[in-house]
């Protein structure tokens, strides 16, 4: 998760360092935003070293990055610890007079606040009202612990233990993530459409792929909260809004785009109809009819198998990504489509294959579909319905694989 850790100006600010550690050690990406007062207790160097990110508490730093908007927007979770009486009051009033409160106003994900202050401040009617207001808006305001406070005094107002804050924050982040979608914060790369292999400046060898299944996959992944990159060859339909589109024409261009995206991809779905062959030669000028009546002979050469190369790249670079392929099979005298697809799954080495049984009148350009999802673990799941229903099933299968 992308976490923003807001640190208020109280003596308990030092405990936020342990909390930060709990987040980073469990793989979360944390940006720390201390208030001005917090930096009097713990300096920014500590937060930068522990988080691995630059730290600022001013809206006037890195103005070009518009941090007061970006950080809150991008965060899957915002945790404020310690939340002082002052931070609670400013958050409740909707002030945006520093980077932390600006970020809180921009928050789209869950916000968890762990108060720490003197007992009198915690029990003051103003603080009580502020806590009520924040809770009524959906903010999780933890109850402070009871015990020794800064001086000789003791009572409710101690910062809850970092482990306790961590548990509450992760739970809030996860339940919000579940509600938003199973691929929240994940990066999904989908190849779609049909490649075109140039023959001369005006002609190409193409295929009948409409691109509809790939677009439906992009929509399904977006609906699950993923960041979607669509490597798009020729298609009859427009890509959905909200995905990043990389246009390609040939199999070689598609290969470059897909392999280039791998290091930043969590799920790769190869839905494109990639030409297995391309003309050995692309003439610089148009191929003309000849006077002597001899017809041109086109020699084809093999294109790289992009799916197979992606699987090999995953192995070579130990990339933790899920890879899915599509198989269009007709079946023949030797075997039925399912047998061919199982063999293909083995050859390609991907995690699962979506089997389309094709024929003269099936699949290409049609709006509905009937597929079988064949998993490398031996399982198979038939799916029947619109291309979007199929896409939802494929994306859900990928999300389950990712969660393994
Ligand atoms: N694919 C690919 N690169 C290619 C050809 C296909 O990445 N050059 C991908 C497709 O996107 C699809 C899967 O591989 O996900 C299945 O492709 P297909 O052409 O049906 O498989 P082949 O191994 O070529 O098998 P065959 O032609 O023998 O049916």
Residue with token string 């199929």: 390
Q: Residue 226: what pLDDT? A: 93
Q: Are 340 and 309 found together in one domain?
A: yes
* This prediction's pTM: 0.64
Q: Among 140, 160, 178, where does a domain finish?
A: 178
- Ligand 1 centroid to Cα of residue 304, in Å, is 10
Q: Among 151, 178, 205, where does a domain finish?
A: 178
* 237 burial level (CB within 10 Å; 0-12, 13-18, 19+): middle
Q: Which positions ≥6 away from 81 have C-beta within 8 Å? A: 5, 6, 7, 8, 12, 15, 16, 19, 113, 114, 116, 159, 162, 165
Q: Are 170 and 201 found together in one domain?
A: no
Q: Are 366 and 265 found together in one domain?
A: yes
Segment 251-279, tens digit of pLDDT: 999 999 999 999 999 999 999 999 999 99
Q: Among 178, 196, 226, where does a domain finish?
A: 178
Segment 110-152, tens digit of pLDDT: 999 999 999 999 999 999 999 999 988 888 899 999 888 777 7
If we measure between CA atoms, which residue out of 66, 61, 57 comes closest to residue 4?
57
Average pLDDT of the chain is: 92
Tell me the CATH number at 113.
Answer: 3.40.50.1950
CA 246 to chain centre: 17
Q: Are 147 and 231 found together in one domain?
A: no
Task: Give me the domain span that covers residue 292.
Answer: 180-402
Q: Does residue 290 contact residue 317 with C-beta atoms inside 8 Å?
A: no
The finding on whether 328 has its CB within 6 A of some atom of ligand 1 is yes
Question: Any catalytic annotation for residue 130?
Answer: no
Q: Which atom of ligand 1 is least distant from the CA of 344?
A: 23
Q: Are 26 and 174 found together in one domain?
A: yes
If we measure between CA atoms, which residue out of 145, 184, 148, 150 comes closest to residue 165?
145
Q: Which atom of ligand 1 is least distant from the CA of 325?
A: 15
The finding on whether 303 has its CB within 6 A of some atom of ligand 1 is yes
Tell me the CATH number at 231.
Answer: 3.40.50.10300
For residues 124 and 210, give the distance between their C-alpha atoms in angstroms, rounded to a whole number.
65
Q: Which is the catalytic residue, given 57, 130, 207, 369?
A: 207
Q: Which atom of ligand 1 is least distant from the CA of 307?
A: 7
Average pLDDT value for residue range 63-85 = 87
Instruction: Work out the number of other CB atoms within 10 angstroms of the CB of residue 170.
Output: 19
- Ligand 1 centroid to Cα of residue 197, in Å, is 15
Q: Residue 279: what pLDDT? A: 97
Q: Are 130 and 217 found together in one domain?
A: no
Q: Are 9 and 82 found together in one domain?
A: yes
Q: Whose CA is nearest to atom 25 of ligand 1?
A: 344
The finding on whether 186 has its CB within 6 A of some atom of ligand 1 is no
Residue with token string 């919000």: 176
For residues 374 and 380, give the distance between their C-alpha atoms in angstroms, rounded to a whole number.
4
Q: Are 195 and 171 found together in one domain?
A: no
Helices (H) and strands (E) in the chain, counts: 14, 19
If we measure between CA atoms, which residue out of 265, 261, 248, 243 comes closest to residue 188?
265
Q: Are 361 and 375 found together in one domain?
A: yes
Q: Are 107 and 184 found together in one domain?
A: no
Segment 29-43, tens digit of pLDDT: 999 999 999 999 999
Instruction: Work out the number of other CB atoms within 10 angstroms of the CB of residue 168.
Output: 16
Q: Are 247 and 374 found together in one domain?
A: yes
Q: Are 163 and 251 found together in one domain?
A: no
The finding on whether 276 has its CB within 6 A of some atom of ligand 1 is yes
How many domains is the chain built from?
A: 2
The finding on whether 323 has its CB within 6 A of some atom of ligand 1 is no
The finding on whether 363 has its CB within 6 A of some atom of ligand 1 is no
């Amino acid at each position: 998760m992308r976490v923003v850790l807001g640190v208020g100006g109280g003596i308990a600010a030092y405990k936020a360092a342990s909390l930060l550690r709990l987040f980073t050690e469990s793989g979360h990406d944390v940006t720390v935003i201390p208030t001005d007062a917090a930096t009097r207790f713990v300096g920014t160097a500590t937060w930068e070293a522990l988080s691995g990110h630059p730290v600022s508490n001013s809206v006037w730093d890195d103005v070009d990055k518009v941090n007061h908007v970006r950080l809150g927007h991008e965060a899957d979770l915002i945790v404020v610890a310690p939340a002082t009486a002052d931070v609670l009051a400013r958050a409740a009033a909707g002030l945006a007079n520093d980077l932390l409160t600006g970020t809180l106003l921009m928050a789209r994900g869950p916000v968890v606040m762990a108060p720490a202050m003197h007992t009198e401040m915690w029990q003051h009617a103003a603080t009580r009202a502020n806590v009520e207001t924040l809770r009524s808006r959906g903010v999780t305001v933890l109850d402070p612990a009871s015990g020794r406070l800064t001086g000789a005094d003791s009572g409710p107002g101690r910062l809850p233990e970092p482990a306790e804050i961590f548990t509450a924050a992760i739970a809030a982040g996860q339940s919000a993530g579940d509600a938003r979608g199973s691929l929240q914060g994940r990066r999904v790369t989908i190849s779609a459409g049909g490649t075109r292999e140039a023959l001369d400046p005006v002609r190409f060898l193409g295929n009948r792929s409409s691109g509809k299944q790939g677009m439906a996959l992009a929509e399904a992944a977006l609906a699950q909260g993923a960041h979607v990159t669509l490597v798009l060859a020729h298609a009859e339909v427009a890509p959905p809004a909200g995905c990043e589109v990389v246009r390609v024409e040939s199999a070689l261009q598609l290969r470059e785009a897909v392999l280039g995206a791998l290091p930043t991809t969590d799920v790769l779905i190869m839905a494109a109809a990639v030409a297995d062959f391309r003309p050995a030669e692309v003439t610089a000028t148009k191929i003309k009819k000849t006077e002597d009546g001899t017809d041109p002979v086109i020699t084809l050469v093999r294109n790289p198998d992009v799916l197979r190369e992606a699987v090999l790249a995953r192995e070579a670079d130990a990339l933790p990504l899920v890879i899915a392929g599509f198989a269009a099979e007709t079946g023949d005298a030797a075997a039925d489509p399912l047998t061919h697809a199982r063999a293909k799954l083995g050859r390609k080495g991907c995690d699962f294959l979506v089997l389309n049984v094709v024929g003269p009148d099936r699949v290409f350009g049609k709006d509905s579909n009937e597929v079988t999802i064949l998993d490398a673990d031996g399982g198979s799941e038939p799916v029947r319905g619109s291309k979007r229903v199929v896409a939802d099933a494929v994306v859900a299968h990928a999300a389950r694989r990712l969660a393994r």
